[in-house]
Amino acid sequence: MLETESLRGRQLLFMGLSNKYASLDNHHHLRDLCTFTVCIDLNKTEESIKTWAPFSYDVNSSSTEMEKVELALLVNKSILYAFILGNKTELGMDFPAYSMHRICCTWDGNKSLFEIFQNSEKLRSVRLYNSTRKCLKPDGTLILGHLHKNQNGSPTILSSFVGILHYFQMWDHVRDPQQMARCDGGNVVSWQGDYWSLGGVRNELAHHQPCGGEAATTAAPPSTSKPPEATVTGPEIRCGGVHHGSFAIHE
C-alpha cells in the first residue's frame, strides 16, 4: 500500500521525469460530475520547455487516443489546449515562466458550458453543443504534473511538467471568479486532504505562496487581459503505443 499524506502548506517541484508523479490514492475516487470547478496554481520554471501538462484525469480503457482523456490541460508547442469529454479547445497562448498563475476550469453540463480562467480573469467560454455526454466518468485516475492515459489499469505518461504546482482543488459546482481567488479547500478533491501519493515528487514548504499559510484567506494574482473567444474543433491529437510516448498535433 502506497503511503499517502496531506499537502497542506506544501508545494510540489516537478523536474520533468515521467516516472515521478503525484496522484490520488486508490481509495479516493471521483464520482460522476456534471458540474465542477478545478483550480491549480502553477509556476513554469523552464522557459525552453514548450510541451507540458499540469494535470490530467482519465478513466481506465484500452484506448491510445489522447482525445479520450476525460479532463486535461496541455501546452503543446507553446499553445494551450483544454480537453473535456472528447472535445478540444485551442486557447492559442502560453503562460509566462517564473511567476505563479492560478488556472481554473469550470464545467456546467446543464448548459454544456466550459470556461477557463487565469488569475480570476476569463480566458474562454465555449459551448460544447456537439458533446453527447454531460458528465465526467467516475473512478478514474487524477495525476498532477503530467498528461496521462489510464490504459489497462496503469498510467501511460505522455507529457511532463517542469516547475512548481500548488493548491489543486476541485469542487462539485461552478464557482465564480471571486470564489476562485480564495484559499478554500475543494469538496471533491482538496490539497489539504490526506490522500495524496507523491510518487517520488519532491515537495517543500510553501509559506510564501498566497495559499501556503494556515491562515490564508485570499489569493489574487495579477489580472490579465481578456483574449477573444475560442473555437471548438473535433479531436486532432493522437498518441501511440503504451510507453512513455510522444505525440503530435496534426494541423
Q: What is the pLDDT of residues 6-39, one digit of tens each?
A: 999 999 999 988 888 899 987 778 889 999 999 9
- Write the pLDDT tens digit of every residue in 197-216: 998 999 999 999 999 985 44
Q: How many CB atoms are located within 10 Å of the residue 85 CB?
A: 21
65 backbone dihedrals φ, ψ, rounded to 5°: -80, 120
Indicate the SS3 state at residue 180: helix
Q: What is the DSSP letter of 68?
A: G
Which pLDDT score is estimated for 227?
Answer: 38
Q: What pTM did the predictor assign? A: 0.82
E strands present in 92-243: 101-108, 113-118, 121-127, 141-144, 146-151, 154-160, 162-171, 196-197, 202-205, 232-233, 237-239
At 91 the pLDDT is 78
User: What percent of the chain is predicted at pLDDT more than 70?
Assistant: 84
| All cell numbers assigned to 221 | 494574482
On whether the CB atoms of residues 71 and 38 are closer than 8 A, the answer is yes
Q: Nearest to residue 149, comparing CAs of 197, 233, 198, 83?
A: 83
What is the per-residue pLDDT across 129-178, written as a single tens digit (0 to 9) for each?
A: 877 789 999 999 999 999 988 877 778 888 889 999 999 999 999 999 99
CB atoms within 10 A of CB 168: 22
Strand partners for 157: 148
Which domains are seen in the chain, by residue range? Answer: 10-249 (2.60.120.200)
| Average pLDDT score over residue span 35-60 | 93
Element (H, E) at 178: helix 177-180
pLDDT of residue 244: 37
